[in-house]
Structure 1
């Protein structure tokens, strides 16, 4: 980006380490006791986005320069690097631009990396769907629901709970959010749902890895990129 006349500051991939996802059921009592459902973390992330140095810099550019900056980062047409998800959705990107240059430098083969990443990213959602549709998961939800109902929260499933809380016009008061999250996490363990979900997640991840060679390719490309990344980091350190 500097070579093309623009400033860019590297940022942490996860600037709030406490941020976590619970795709099946909230299963960490200590985390729930501190963060509830993570509304405090979402607030922190929102504030970070407002103060992000790169976003502030981009918003401060004139309109023509903003367009030029986007082209510098993402390249221009034609979008000749393509990849398909397992369900056939097509993704395209330009082989030019700083993002493609960085990926090609780190991973060696831009097309191979792009296809592997698109596949692996899509498989996350596929894996989650397979777990929640698995009869063993459906059966394990029943005692969790009974536990929640006994605690005064008549939800049929973790998804039912998410839908109910997210559809509220006003968010839960902080103390109620934490109390509900703690109950969910405790029920996840006492009902066995947390253990079942973890086992099924691993089971379906392994099945998908056997089904899609892109998973192994993705890991191999990442491992091979490590020494290049270290070398680039050392060069950047010496040049500064």
Structure 2
């Protein structure tokens, strides 16, 4: 919930910045793969699977929501497209960097509307860039450690055998999900629901769901103990930004309602 509020506020700030440069911008969704956010290891909610399959409908809806921005960008002359990208991303005249826990350094322009939004929302764009990129890497590390654990591998193999018994060949849940979402033939969503429901049942009977959940929690705790300053830094920045984000969203909604009623927007 909190990350959604911060994302929404960031998108509002980016849009205002782009508009101020005489360019249009439509807010980007926080994620285009909500099914992966819910089930990063295996679909294990049978009721959700029966209703949603692999989240194909939600993914398509998010793609439709992103279409105006994509169509606008591709409809611009080449020179304006370059200007749009530079305005959004910034240039390389000034760079902020983050050293990653896995090694190496990642950078981002200190200019542009994205960096300006970070500055306005978090009060320190360089500190937020480092905190967000480091914690994102730590999430990837957590998932990687979980999937590499012998207990997870053993449970995944039991899950695969269960799926085989149900007439579905699948080495891993993620490979199966990619295979299903690549199916564009008629009736694909109905097949998604059948396969995802079998996946959820096998996730329970094989112990994969419980094993993944336990390992994920243990790895999250271990990484937070290993990198306490990084987690604390990101947490402090988010907590400090939340009041600003909520106030900005309230103001934006008020202005939108006033505009719809033909009133003068608040300053």
Q: What is the aligned partner in structure 2 of residue 4 from structure 1?
A: 21
Matched, 1:118 2:139: no
Matched, 1:209 2:236: no
For residues 59-102 of structure 1, the C-alpha deviation after alignment (integer angstroms, 9 at most, x for no partner) is 33322222222222222122421112222232212211111111
* Alignment CA distance shift 1:62-1:185 (3 Å): same
Shift, 1:119, TM fit: 0.9
Matched, 1:229 2:256: no
Shift, 1:154, TM fit: 4.5
Distance 1:184 1:85 in 2: 35
Q: What is the aligned partner in structure 1 of residue 59 from structure 2?
A: 42
* Alignment CA distance shift 1:37-1:196 (3 Å): same
Query: 1:186 aligned to 195, 201, 226, which one?
Result: 201
SS at match of 1:2: helix
Q: What is the aligned partner in structure 1 of residue 43 from structure 2?
A: 26
Q: What is the aligned partner in structure 1 of residue 161 from structure 2?
A: 146
- Segments of structure 1 that go 5 or more residues without pairing to the other structure are none
User: Any conservation in 2 of the 1:165–1:171 contact (CA below 8 Å)?
Assistant: no
Task: Count the aligned residue pairs.
Answer: 238
Deviates more, 1:113-122 or 1:85-94: 85-94
Distance 1:207 1:193 in 2: 21
Deviates more, 1:150-159 or 1:78-87: 150-159
Deviates more, 1:57-66 or 1:204-213: 57-66
> If each structure's helix is expressed as a fraction of its own residues, which one has the higher value?
2
User: Any conservation in 2 of the 1:79–1:92 contact (CA below 8 Å)?
Assistant: no
* Alignment CA distance shift 1:156-1:6 (3 Å): closer
For 1:68-217, list aligned pairs within 5 A.
68-159=83-174, 161-162=176-177, 165=180, 173-212=188-227, 213-217=229-233
User: Any conservation in 1 of the 2:54–2:177 contact (CA below 8 Å)?
Assistant: no
Shift, 1:113, TM fit: 0.7
User: Any conservation in 1 of the 2:90–2:109 contact (CA below 8 Å)?
Assistant: yes
Query: 2:76 aligned to 58, 61, 65, which one?
Result: 61
Q: Which runs of 4+ in 1 moved over 6 A?
A: 15-19, 166-172
* Alignment CA distance shift 1:12-1:161 (3 Å): closer
Shift, 1:37, TM fit: 2.1
Distance 1:45 1:11 in 2: 9
SS at match of 2:19: coil
SS at match of 1:239: coil
TM superposition score normalised by structure 2 = 0.76
SS at match of 1:26: coil
SS at match of 1:99: helix
User: Any conservation in 2 of the 1:72–1:97 contact (CA below 8 Å)?
Assistant: yes
> What's the RMSD between the two structures over aligned residues?
2.9
- Segments of structure 2 that go 5 or more residues without pairing to the other structure are 1-17, 256-264
Q: What is the aligned partner in structure 1 of residue 262 from structure 2?
A: none
Distance 2:35 2:81 in 1: 33
